[in-house]
């Protein structure tokens, strides 16, 4: 069920400012999504946050509104197109437009292909790729009608290389990068950005996959991983550019990552 905080609980920041945008963020309950919500809200934008873990969204929206920012939430499952459409249509009903969509939701259960974790392969395809396509399909008609909008897809440095323990994960991120570049070339009205984070300290390695492989990645994260806030700032940079400037792709990784 979609739930929103009462309008009395939403604090408006710089509502008349021309730079203020309505920004939808998927996978906003933790990691890069949460960091992006905090960064964009602090920049004066109205953030609409979606994820499955509503309890975390409630807490995040409470923190943001108490700090004087403008935020709301809705339960969201990016693998379900009806859920994504409701998420977008709710924002359109309340605000009249969606200026930016940050397609961030993702999963990363790493393992060798020989382990034949087919259910996890399908999960990655459903969340990492189909979820991005659902988001695009939900916002694209309105953006094209307005001849204005910005779609930001979070991929990975895994969109530039294949690793033996992350073959399907890499495949989904390669696909997200291809979708982003192709969509960008379809129109001269909309902006499309793909953001490729390197090793980032999030919860991606905390569920699924081969425990030995995931443990090795967590060890690498401790050594060379960067904060989700670094990715959020890159997203904020792309959002802040003038309407006639498109940041095609941003790759962000720790200095120590090779």
Give the residue numbers annotated as catalytic, written as ranges: 169
Crossing angle, helix 131-146 and helix 81-95, to 10 degrees? 30
221 to 45, 154, 216, 233: CA distances (angstroms) = 31, 18, 9, 19
Tell me if 125 sits within 8 A of 170, measured CB to CB. no
Rounded-to-5 percentages of helix, strand, coil across the chain: 50, 15, 35
d(CA 150, CA 169): 25
At 102, give phi and psi (nearest 5°): -105, 100
Q: What are phi and psi of 257, to 5 degrees?
A: -80, 135
Cα–Cα distance list, 61 to 14, 135, 156 (Å): 18, 21, 27
Q: Which two tokens stand for residue 6?
A: 């009462």
């Amino acid at each position: 069920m979609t739930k929103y905080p009462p309008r009395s609980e939403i604090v408006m920041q710089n509502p008349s400012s021309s730079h203020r945008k309505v920004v939808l963020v998927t996978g906003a309950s933790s990691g890069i999504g949460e960091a992006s919500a905090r960064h964009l809200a602090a920049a004066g934008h109205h953030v609409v946050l979606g994820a499955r873990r509503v309890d975390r969204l409630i807490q995040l929206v409470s923190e943001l509104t108490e700090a004087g920012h403008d935020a709301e939430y809705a339960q969201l499952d990016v693998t379900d197109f009806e859920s994504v459409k409701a998420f977008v249509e709710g924002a359109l009903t309340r605000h009249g437009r969606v200026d930016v969509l940050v397609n961030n939701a993702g999963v990363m259960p790493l393992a060798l292909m020989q382990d034949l974790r087919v259910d996890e392969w399908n999960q990655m395809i459903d969340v990492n790729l189909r979820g991005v396509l659902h988001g695009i399909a939900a916002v694209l008609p309105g953006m094209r009608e307005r001849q204005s909008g910005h779609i930001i897809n979070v991929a990975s440095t895994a969109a530039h290389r294949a690793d033996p323990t992350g073959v399907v994960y890499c495949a989904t991120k390669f696909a997200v990068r291809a979708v982003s570049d192709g969509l960008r070339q379809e129109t001269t009205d909309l902006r499309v950005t793909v953001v490729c984070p390197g090793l980032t300290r999030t919860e991606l390695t905390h569920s699924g996959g081969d425990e030995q492989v995931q443990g090795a990645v967590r060890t690498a994260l401790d050594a060379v991983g960067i904060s989700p806030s670094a990715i959020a700032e890159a997203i904020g940079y792309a959002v802040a550019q003038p309407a006639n400037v498109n940041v095609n792709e941003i790759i962000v990784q720790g200095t120590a990552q090779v």
